[in-house]
Structure 1
Amino acid sequence: MRLSNRNKASVYNFVHTLLMMLAIFGIAAFLLNEYRFKAVGKESYILLIVPLILLAVFHLNGRQIFEYDSDGEALNFKNRNIIPFVDRPLHDEFPKYKLIGYEIVRIFFVKRLYITISSKNSGSTILKYEISYLSQKEVNDLKLSLNKVVKTNKEKND
């Protein structure tokens, strides 16, 4: 099964650009109000705080693009940001038989996928992916596919 939200990258770029412009205009309006016009009192801080909070929430949600491929004998996970220099993209590929389990954690508007795989060195390793930007249908499809692999692995080990 293949799952990808790469086709939504242009929407995420647009939202990011809009938030950046909103933040820049907010800072400019705040500075003009403070040093030149003095039209708005203490409420001028809203021009500064709201766009910066929205931009922070956008970035704290994590990497926007998530790709999953379970075709063949390997599981392939890719997780990257729309802005290449913000953080390193994640790319992991491992055989299906190494998958021990998974967990999806939701905290407010943030969703994370934790994959546990068997490892020769330490017994097991946990890989973390940000899936906040996946729709509920995509998350359900991902769960279905991972459940299938975990179930197959448990049957082989028993």
Structure 2
Amino acid sequence: MTEITRLAAGDTAPDFTLDDQDGAPVSLADFSGTNVILYFYPEAMTPGCTTQACDFRDNLNSLKAAGYRVIGISRDEPAKLKRFQETDGLNFPLLSDPDLVVHNAYGVYGEKNSYGRIVTGVIRSTFVIDGSGTIEHALYNVKATGHISMLRKKLTIDA
């Protein structure tokens, strides 16, 4: 497998500006002073990605109460992200990165093991970024199911 440059706790989170599901530009800098949970997922409206997104949706109020904002990023175009948002009632920004610029900056696109085969694609990953733009947690190869529960424990957010 080709090595991917991965980010780690203590690194500065790469800034970006991407279009959201409505075609409006959203930058990481827009969230300065706020803790952000930034997650990358392979494709909108697929079973695992829907499970993960709905889990974030269902936990959003308690994450917000603990001081966290959630942002999802995929390669999908804004129109597909809009359908995903509307179909599943998603209540946080979904950003489009079709050129993989931000995926590559965060080290979440490359070779991965998928059901015993080496494939190239999006590595499901989550980053917790503090209000000053420093990565607190860089979590690669996360599972869609149970991800939020694991994240809540790591962030010591009571259920």
TM-score, reference length from structure 2: 0.27
Higher share of residues assigned helix: 1
Bigger radius of gyration: 1
